[in-house]
Amino acid sequence: MRWRLQLSGVVQGVGFRPFVYRLSRRFGLKGYVRNEGGDVVLEVQGDGETLMRWKQALIDERPAVARVDGLIVSVIDDADDLEKPFYIEESISLHAHVTPSPDLALCSECRTEISSKSDRRFDYPFTNCTNCGPRFTIISRLPYDRRNTSMSAFPLCDECQSEYGDPHDRRFHAEPVACSRCGPALCVIGMPTSGADNTTALNAATNVLRDGGIVGLKALGGWHLACDARNEKAVRELRQRKERRLQPFAVMFRDEATVRSYACLSEEESVLLRSSAAPIVLLETSDEKLSLAPSVHPETGVLGAMLPSTPLHDLLLRRFDGPLVMTSGNRCGAPTPYRDEAAMEEMKTLADIALSHDRPILLRCDDSIVRVHPGAKRPVYHRRARGYAPHIIETPFRFARTTFAAGSFLNAAFAFGSDRRIYLSPHLGDLDHPEAFEQYVEIADHYMELFQLHPELYVCDLHPAYPSTLYVERRCHAEGIDPVRVQHHEAHAASCLAEHHHRGPALALVLDGTGYGYDGTSWGGELLYFHDFPLLDDVHTAGIERCGSLAALPMPGADRAVLETDRMAEGLLFHAGSDAIAAARSIGRAPGLTDANEDMMRNAMHLFPKTSGCGRLFDAVSFLVSGRSESEYEGQPAIWLENRLEREAFSGSPRSHTPYPFALNKADRWIIDPAVMVFALLDDLHRGESASRISLRFHSGLVTAFVEMLEEVAAEKSVRTVALSGGCFFNRYLTQHFTQELERLGFTVLLHKELPPGDGGLAAGQLMLGAALAVAS
């Protein structure tokens, strides 16, 4: 009997062909296996019983990092017998749906080799095999073969060639395989040891770290800056050079045992740390644990921890024998450099020495960030990039035309929709820096070439000034077509509904900082009703209704109110009225308001833009509690408030936490008014209540008010499914207690599964709604 099998999914770059080869030889079968376009195709011949056992083993024993999304088995009749023993055939390049592997963290076998003096790969920082190593960041085109990667410039030596061709070796057809004789090499820039061997280069970098210096490090998808995480002077110097005053730094630890010395680690968090993605995992610290330098993660009890993801990092951590700050190699606001020329220019002023190498990075990919929420069924992805990119979602909804969705402005990520697949880019950062936008365009072009995607439809945000919107408008102008514009919060909701393959009516609660609304104001505290979630095979789109929101507050100074939170507090106080202003002034929480200018400011309030953003309400409350007005990075005031919560806040229900009152009113839509909350909060401040208590009452009051509004709208619409999306759902209290309260009331609650709830997941929702709107028109 002879079968032909075609497997799709993550089946290239993960050792799948060598696995099939060894398995087929083990079962005594004849045939071949090859990469064909983006799939693995094989023919296999043997008796029926053996083939059935072989097929089960194919699924059960497949490589851990492989993912089989589709398997087609065909019986070949009237074919000549296969006479050759099973072999690997040369790849065939075809235009096809392709799922290349993400970059894989250093495996235990390779770690043992690079630390063993008797091994020929001792101290070699580019060691890899079929179970680990660079993948996505070195691909220029598909199929995934060495000639199509940045390793094509490094011909194999005889020993590596022997491993590559040996079916019993774990480097059998490992495309990036290399050693010190034939592969990439380190070089040190900024010291007389330039051009030295790998060991000398590693020792030079280690000595700089021990002396309190800063080392630039060319990693998998971009550059890192490293320094001793226990050396306060070194960390402060790094902050000064990066112009990053307060935003926490991530820390790389040698092993899991060391992580446990500095942070609390659950089993779920341990699994994430040790996974092949090797992300930054946000962990709780405690007074019982060892302390790092105070400036590593100031004002927060949360530590971003990761383990070495490459042999280079592992060798450096072993030599240094202590935790290292490992942060992106850029100044605050600029993108992470990944091209050598630009990176070298940055390293001149950011690092004392630069540890570089000659393997080109073809695609920028920042470190991923993930957090486990209390009681959550899955981790929450703050940033999906290295180890998770490319992120390809199989969907039951079919895209009639290849579609490009531009994503947002902050935490940008674009997406393509083609047939029944969504191709999401890695996290690309904020697009307010010109170099960040240049990289956005470069990587979008790279995706089109790599995946052979040729958009016929372009979707963007309603906001006319987003760089991503301008990019879409420019492409559409060149191609003589019109873009499809999708409202920000409707896209957030659609991304969550799409992840769950939801069909039919649903409510969606979308809480974030900002998003351009249909009325020209900034939205961000929205309750939406989908009359019917769009099915892309249909000829209509869903009706989406804005059923409720936070009350719109003035933003004195417009966009300056985002960076200077005392302005947002002034807007909240004027909304609450003169008595609130007087109460705030009496405790020093209205520094910009005096008897002389209060009337003038009141008369000017109608001139300022309005926002119903939940994030802006957090900004205002954070200033009232802390008295500090500067916001250095997106979400900092909200994070500060969340970090004031104590562990006890996560037990019990919001109603047991003495929630602050919010008024719920019905006009053309339901409105949650925070004015009455302001008076209760100011009264607590006047009485000297702790920041942790005030934060808890504010959080619980917000949950209680929105749940009450949800109950009202659910009764009106006769729907009991609600999706939760938006950047505010990075907040662990909000996610846990909204879910807990709504499920207690009989709602089906949909949370994001693999997409970030923030703007990093926005493009998937833009695809869904944009394609439906295009069909409808």
Beta partners for residue 264, in sequence order: none
Count CB-CB contacts under 10 A for residue 661: 15
Q: Mapping DSSP to helix (H, G, I), strand (E, B) and coil, where does residue 11 land?
A: coil
Q: Worst-scoring range by mean pLDDT, 332-341, 412-421, 503-512? A: 332-341
109 part of a folded domain: no
Count CB-CB contacts under 10 A for residue 291: 10
Report which of residues 517 and 605 the model is more confident about.
Answer: 517
Question: Rounded mean pLDDT of 225-232?
Answer: 98
Q: Worst-scoring range by mean pLDDT, 560-564, 596-600, 640-644, 684-688? A: 596-600
**Quick one: 499 and 604 in the same domain?**
no
pLDDT at 538: 47
341 part of a folded domain: yes
**Quick one: 390 and 353 in the same domain?**
no
**Quick one: 203 and 249 in the same domain?**
yes
Q: Mapping DSSP to helix (H, G, I), strand (E, B) and coil, where does residue 769 land?
A: helix
What confidence tier does 93 reach under pLDDT thresholds 50, 70, 90? low
DSSP assignments along 188-247, one per residue: EESSTTTT--HHHHHHHHHHHHHTT--EEEE-SSSEEEEEETT-HHHHHHHHHHHT-SSS
Count CB-CB contacts under 10 A for residue 501: 11
pLDDT at 540: 47
Tally of domains within the chain: 4
Please identify which residue in the block is written with the tokens 């966009």: 559
Give which of 518, 513, 420 is closest to 461, Cα–Cα.
Answer: 518
Give which of 703, 678, 689 is closest to 623, Cα–Cα.
Answer: 678
Extract the tokens encoding 119. Answer: 């091994």
What is Dmax (Cα atoms) for the chain? Answer: 97
Q: How far apart are the first and last CA of the chain?
A: 52
Domain range enclosing 44: 2-88
**Quick one: 308 and 197 in the same domain?**
yes
pLDDT of 214 higher than 90:
yes
In eight-state DSSP terms, residue 650 is: G
Question: Rounded mean pLDDT of 395-420?
Answer: 94
pLDDT at 81: 73
Check if 121 is active-site. Answer: no
Q: Which DSSP helix (H) or strand (E) runs through 416?
A: strand 415-424
DSSP assignments along 444-470, one per residue: HHHHHHHHT---SEEEEES-TT-HHHH
Extract the tokens encoding 685. Answer: 């401040």
Q: Mapping DSSP to helix (H, G, I), strand (E, B) and coil, where does residue 114 land?
A: helix
> Which of 27, 54, 88 is the last residue before a domain boundary?
88
123 part of a folded domain: no
DSSP assignments along 256-270, one per residue: HHHHHHHS---HHHH
pLDDT at 675: 98
What pLDDT digit, counting tens, does each position of 554-567 carry?
999 888 988 899 99
33 part of a folded domain: yes
Question: Rounded mean pLDDT of 599-623?
Answer: 92
Q: Which DSSP helix (H) or strand (E) runs through 421?
A: strand 415-424
**Quick one: 288 and 212 in the same domain?**
yes
Return the C-alpha torsion angle 754, 757, 759, 764, nearest 10.
50
Return the C-alpha torsion angle 708, 714, 717, 721, nearest 10.
150
Pairwise CA distance, residues 391 & 163, whole Å: 31
Pairwise CA distance, residues 589 & 596, whole Å: 17
> Which of 682, 701, 720 is the last residue before a domain boundary?
701
392 part of a folded domain: yes
What pLDDT digit, counting tens, does each position of 351-377 carry?
999 999 999 999 999 999 999 998 666
pLDDT of 539 higher than 50:
no
pLDDT of 225 higher than 90:
yes
Residues above pLDDT 70, as percent of the chain: 96
> Which of 701, 724, 748 is the last residue before a domain boundary?
701
Catalytic residue among 2, 34, 35, 731: 35
Mean pLDDT of the residues in the chain: 92
Question: Rounded mean pLDDT of 392-407?
Answer: 91
227, 316 in Cβ contact below 8 A?
no
Which residues in 50-153 belong to E strands, given as ranges? 67-75, 87-88
Q: Worst-scoring range by mean pLDDT, 54-68, 585-599, 613-627, 736-750? A: 585-599
Helices (H), 564-720: 565-576, 578-586, 598-604, 614-626, 636-644, 675-686, 691-717
* Amino acid identity for residue 707 in this structure: V
Pairwise CA distance, residues 423 & 447, whole Å: 9
pLDDT at 576: 96
CB half-sphere exposure, 308, CA atoms < 13 A: 25
Q: Mapping DSSP to helix (H, G, I), strand (E, B) and coil, where does residue 404 land?
A: strand
pLDDT at 396: 83
pLDDT at 776: 66
Residues above pLDDT 90, as percent of the chain: 76
pLDDT of 213 higher than 90:
yes
Give which of 62, 82, 53, 88 is closest to 10, Cα–Cα.
Answer: 62
175 part of a folded domain: no
CA separation, residue 687 to residues 287, 582, 620 (Å): 28, 16, 20
**Quick one: 488 and 564 in the same domain?**
no
The CATH number of the domain holding residue 56 is: 3.30.70.100
Produce one character per residue of 17-46: b if its CB has 16 or more CB atoms within 10 Å, e if not: bbbbbbbbeebebbbbbbbbbbbbbbbbbb
pTM of the model as a whole: 0.91
Pairwise CA distance, residues 217 & 357, whole Å: 9
The CATH number of the domain holding residue 660 is: 1.10.357.160
What confidence tier does 491 reach under pLDDT thresholds 50, 70, 90? very high
Cis peptide before 637 (omega within 30 of 0): no
Q: In residues, how long is the chain?
A: 777
pLDDT at 78: 67
Extract the tokens encoding 567. Answer: 């302005």
Catalytic residue among 17, 239, 254, 567: 17
Q: Give a three-class secondary structure readout of 534-549.
A: CCCCCCCCCCEEEEEE
What pLDDT digit, counting tens, does each position of 691-723 carry?
999 999 999 999 999 999 999 999 999 999 999
**Quick one: 452 and 396 in the same domain?**
yes
Question: Rounded mean pLDDT of 486-498?
Answer: 97
523 part of a folded domain: no
**Quick one: 213 and 305 in the same domain?**
yes
577 part of a folded domain: yes
* Amino acid identity for residue 673 in this structure: D
The CATH number of the domain holding residue 472 is: 3.30.420.360
**Quick one: 207 and 290 in the same domain?**
yes
Pairwise CA distance, residues 32 & 30, whole Å: 7
pLDDT at 258: 98
pLDDT at 650: 79
**Quick one: 543 and 557 in the same domain?**
no
**Quick one: 202 and 334 in the same domain?**
yes
Check if 131 is active-site. Answer: no
**Quick one: 328 and 400 in the same domain?**
no
